[in-house]
Structure 1
Amino acid sequence: MTSEVCPFFRTMRIMTDQLKDSAAQELDERCFLSAQSMPNLKVSEHFQVLKLLGEGSYGKVMLAVHRKRGTPMALKFFPRQSTSLTSFLREYNLSLSYCTHPSLTRALGIFFSTPTYYVFAQQAGLYGDLYDVIVSEVGVDEECVQRVMSQLSGAVTHLHSLGFVHRDIKPENIFLCDSSCRWVKLGDFGLSRAIGSTVRAVWYDSPFCTPEVEPAKEAQTEREWDGTEEEMEEIWITVEPCIDSWALGVLVYCLLTGCFPWEQSTHDDRGYRRYKEWFDSEVEKEEKMRHCEWRGEEERDCYTIMKENQRNNPPPSQFEGLSPLAMTLLKELLHPEPKHRGSPEEILSYLGGPWLTETEVEENRKAEEAEKEARKIREEGGVEEELAREGKGER
């Protein structure tokens, strides 16, 4: 059996590596070709710029209308002084050629340079971004959360299937196509890289930063306090889809609560440390349960187990108000070990059930009322049948 299985997995690994290599190589070729044909244009001659949509360290995004076509679009401006041509073309070509999912922001095939900027056009999110609709310490309604996460699950899974990881999923990079979040688009692919490529581990102070890059923070601290000129060894990480899974888990929490679960995912952060201790105890319990199942003990309903676990080992206080179903999803996405982290596609398995405790209570109340009504109908039906039988007997 081993001799048959091992070649299969070796073949699958080779095919996966080839996909990663081909994705990066194909993107590089597209960048090379587009560099040969990038025109120089004057913005005001071709576009009517209407207003600022957003800005950040990358540059700015302006809402504009194409003067000849009358088409509304977003123009993304990258300062030439601080942006390499390579990074500009990589983001443009990735957005143009690979973002074919309806919940990924796609470039429109217009790119050019000015004396001070590199610019490309993309689909415009006319209703702002997800950050604008999250109410602090409240979040958004649960139906909206599940709707948004369903779309993002498909978008990120699609991007991964083409060999790329987004690496910067956060509310500010999710754009709204309507006022009620029925259609959202993930955008800003400046940090996106091919799966399997290596990048320098950079720590940034955010709950979206994955715990596996904590050593980079420690190295950075040593570098800051070390008075010598000796260079520290840089830390490199492999780009894997699990980076996006972590960000999606933090996003679920943020949308449900209007807060973040912790300030940063390091062991010196109290919120993360409490979560990690709870998570480790959950893993230990699951191991014991698997051992019991192996010994042939009775199997139970999965949802019943989730509820029992939450009663016996309550999550940290920052997760109060989240249902057992939501906590199980977060355990999948926010697994401290990257190789065991769930995939974005798994979000789809948790849609439809209650993610908030108050929703679960309300659903249980409605179910009890429906059961009472059904029982009443059955009882009334039984009485009618007996009366009918008695009537037949009298005749």
Structure 2
Amino acid sequence: MTAAAAQELDERCFLSAQSLPSLKLSDHFRVVKLLGEGSYGKVMLAVHRKRGTPMALKIFPRETTSLSSFLREYNLSLSYCTHPSLTRALGIFFSTPSYYVFAQQAGLYGDLYSVIVSEVGVSEERVQRVMAQLSGAVTHLHSLGFVHRDIKPENIFLCDASCRWVKLGDFGLARAVGSSVRAVWYESPFCTPEVEPAKEAEKEMERRVCEGTEEQMEDIWVSVEPSIDSWALGVLVYCLLTGCFPWEESTHDDRGYRRYKEWFHREAEKEKIGDGKWSNEEERDSCLEDNPPPSQFAGLSPLVMTLFKELLHPEPKRRGSPEEILSYLGGPWLMETELEEKRKAEEAEKEAIKIREVGGVADELIREGRGER
């Protein structure tokens, strides 16, 4: 499936390259405003002059963008992003003397990053609503044989102000499952721990340059796997709930990540106890001790911590799939929500007891009225 998907995408790119028209943008579109920009280029909100349809134009500078990468992103978005929470291209693509351009669905309410309040996040109801949609979108993309590889708030676009409909976009880094790519480390909590060797290689290369060593290092290559997206979704859940990141980077020298990993492994040892899989009594006693989550996870419920153990598993082969998010919806992801639910349950129980007591008294009065006593 994955090899077939990659081959099919390549064929679509080859065919579309033969029919790429050259147009003057202003003849066909009225540009309204800038929606976003990045290293790839920029996205402009525009209105089609003949149809009057609003759309987003993704504009790539030709001098820094290869035709193949432009056509790959366009065709992937056009042909494979059929899920309602994936941003789809609209079948309009063209070139100008300076740019490559394609049209896509517009997120008229900005991106997810714009609604996250620093150190606060967004409401838990919105978080679960967003993650339910993204779970389906990413699972759909994986089922077609592709991994997004760049899930972050800036690439999730809003179709309304309440996050009732969001769309994952920006497929410039998407690749077929199982393909090999050069490992690139970047300082971000979204960067998976399995590419840490690339950071070490980068340091070694800098050292050699400083020493004037001419010897080149071989690139490190990694396989593109769905677990990359699972990691990013786990970090995104934390970001939405707290308005912060759990760590600066997922490497052994980052204190926040190191504390999380230590907690994670203690949890794994506790699970062994449940199966009777400890090597000695000392290990067993150590595992039975309380294991509170790291301080950066204070205020998060046990339910969402279990979800983190699935999505943020340090070992990529044992990382849970995006679809597993659905199993954790509906329950409390914040401790304050859990406490509120318990309070409501206790009040409901008290009310039920009162009703039963009143009902018992009423039955007794009825029996007395009938002369049964």
Residues 187 and 394 of structure 1: is their aligned pair in 2 closer, same or farther, counting only changes over 3 Å? Answer: closer
Letter matched to residue 95 of structure 1: S
Q: Which residue of 2 aligns with 1:114?
A: 96
Greater CA deviation, 229-238 or 111-120?
A: 229-238
TM-score w.r.t. structure 1 length? 0.90
Q: Which residue of 1 aligns with 2:56?
A: 74
Letter matched to residue 376 of structure 1: K
Q: Quick one: which of 216, 237, 249 aligns to 2:222?
A: 237
State the alpha-carbon separation in 2 of the partners of residues 124 and 341 from structure 1: 33
State the alpha-carbon separation in 1 of the partners of residues 148 and 127 from structure 2: 20
State the alpha-carbon separation in 1 of the partners of residues 54 and 245 from structure 2: 35
Structure 1 residue ranges without an equivalent (≥5): 1-18, 293-308
Q: CA deviation at 1:151?
A: 0.3
Output one character per residue of 1:308-333: Cα deviation in whole Å (capped at 9) or x when no partner: x9992110000000000010001100
Residues 311 and 68 of structure 1: is their aligned pair in 2 closer, same or farther, counting only changes over 3 Å? Answer: farther
> Contact (CA 8 Å) 2:270, 2:288: kept in 1 or not?
no
Q: Kindly tell me the number of residue pairs found equivalent between the two proteins.
A: 362
Residues 150 and 394 of structure 1: is their aligned pair in 2 closer, same or farther, counting only changes over 3 Å? Answer: closer
Equivalent residues in 2 for 1:353-364, closer than 5 Å: 353-364=331-342
Q: Which residue of 1 aligns with 2:233?
A: 248
Secondary structure of the equivalent of 2:157? strand
Q: Which residue of 2 aligns with 1:365?
A: 343
Match status 1:382 vs 2:367: no
Output one character per residue of 1:134-153: Cα deviation in whole Å (capped at 9) or x when no partner: 00000000000000000000
Q: Quick one: which of 291, 313, 316 aligns to 1:313?
A: 291
Q: CA deviation at 1:291?
A: 2.0
Letter matched to residue 264 of structure 1: E
Output one character per residue of 1:218-266: Cα deviation in whole Å (capped at 9) or x when no partner: 0011001113111112110000000000000000000000000000000
> Contact (CA 8 Å) 1:310, 1:324: kept in 2 or not?
no
Q: Quick one: which of 120, 126, 147 aligns to 2:129?
A: 147
Secondary structure of the equivalent of 2:342? helix
Match status 1:132 vs 2:114: yes
Residues 33 and 270 of structure 1: is their aligned pair in 2 closer, same or farther, counting only changes over 3 Å? Answer: same
Letter matched to residue 156 of structure 1: V
Output one character per residue of 1:83-135: Cα deviation in whole Å (capped at 9) or x when no partner: 00000000000000000000000000000000000000000000000000000
State the alpha-carbon separation in 2 of the partners of residues 233 and 367 from structure 1: 61
Q: Quick one: which of 171, 174, 177 aligns to 2:153?
A: 171
State the alpha-carbon separation in 1 of the partners of residues 251 and 192 from structure 2: 9
Q: CA deviation at 1:392?
A: 2.4
> Contact (CA 8 Å) 2:120, 2:241: kept in 1 or not?
yes
Q: Quick one: which of 293, 311, 316 aligns to 1:333?
A: 311
Secondary structure of the equivalent of 1:312? coil
Q: Which residue of 1 aligns with 2:250?
A: 265
Residues 394 and 348 of structure 1: is their aligned pair in 2 closer, same or farther, counting only changes over 3 Å? Answer: closer
Output one character per residue of 1:249-293: Cα deviation in whole Å (capped at 9) or x when no partner: 00000000000000000000000000000001000110111228x
User: Percent identity at matched positions?
Assistant: 83
Q: CA deviation at 1:383?
A: 1.2
Match status 1:85 vs 2:67: yes
Q: Quick one: which of 162, 182, 191 aligns to 1:180?
A: 162
Q: Which residue of 2 aligns with 1:342?
A: 320
Q: Which residue of 1 aligns with 2:172?
A: 190
Secondary structure of the equivalent of 2:97? coil
State the alpha-carbon separation in 1 of the partners of residues 344 and 5 from structure 2: 50
Letter matched to residue 247 of structure 2: W
